Amino acid sequence: MKHHLIVFIVAVALLPPLTTYSQHHLTVEDFTMRGDTYLTDEECFRLTDENDYSSGSIWYKLPINLAEPFSIKLSIMVGCQDDIGADGMVFLFANRPNMVGTRGEGIGFRGLRPSVGIEIDTWLNEHLSDPIEDHLSIMLNGMVGHWNDLAGPITINNIEDCMRHGFYVLWDPSSKTLTVEIDGQSRISATYDLANKIFGGNNIVYWGMTAATGRYNNMHEVCFDRLAFVPPMIDPTPLQSATEIKSLLVSHHAQTLIWNY
């Protein structure tokens, strides 16, 4: 059975009352690949194979706006090796795309600044204050030691089970709350002014996914069938200021979309 990654980026603009919101279907060409990432026969992004000292990332080509609510819904696979599997994956926001941080315990995230990373860590690094179990944390500015966490670490059930898992990232700009769900259950959240405290007052950021291995390894994948979002009145680009975009994107209420596997 083919598995899918479905992403919804939701931004609702102030439009005339009779405006109809539509879904826009995208393809693998809407992402860039870096490092060891490649496209599989099933049109999945394989960020790493079961090879030592490997790293890769994918990045969505268009930026998103932290002044607007959005949800990003992924399907991920964090490997099949439990006891000897490493190192994990990181979902991240950054001020520019197409980057990969250090390998091994850096999980392709360490050294990327400014950034916000949601770490899915599957390897015990005692010097980083890792829990023994697989765990989640929200990290800032490419720092992977847990004394720098914005939230976490919180332990999760073994995720190196050769299964695909729903991984959902939700942002509420009214409360400035970032929430992460796994398989439909809320697991970790943080309330923080990301635009001002991390990105220097800029609401326009990029998102991507990284993975890495070290002396031990695992396979890390992101798969998709389609992506859909409600487009704003404008196409936000790095050439437009956050003030210009916010003047057009004024609603803080996400449009509800129905999605299926």
Domains of the chain (ranges, CATH numbers):
6-15+28-234+244-248 (2.60.120.200)
Place of tokens 């980026």: 9
Give the model confidence (pLDDT) of 152-201 as tens digits. 899 999 999 999 998 989 999 999 999 999 998 999 999 999 999 999 99
To which H or E segment does residue 182 belong? strand 177-182
Task: Say what the pLDDT of residue 131 is.
Answer: 87
Task: Say what the pLDDT of residue 247 is.
Answer: 41
Q: pLDDT higher for 191 or 1?
A: 191
257 pLDDT higher than 70: no
Neighbour count for residue 235 (Cβ, 10 Å): 10
Task: Say what the pLDDT of residue 93 is.
Answer: 95
As a whole number of angstroms, the distance between CA 4 and CA 200 comes to 35
User: pTM for the whole thing?
Assistant: 0.78
Task: Say what the pLDDT of residue 209 is.
Answer: 93
Rounded percentage of the chain residues whose pLDDT exceeds 70: 75
Give the model confidence (pLDDT) of 5-55 as tens digits. 444 444 433 333 333 323 444 567 888 999 999 998 877 899 999 999 999
- How much helix, strand and coil, in percent to the nearest 5, is found in the chain? 10, 35, 55
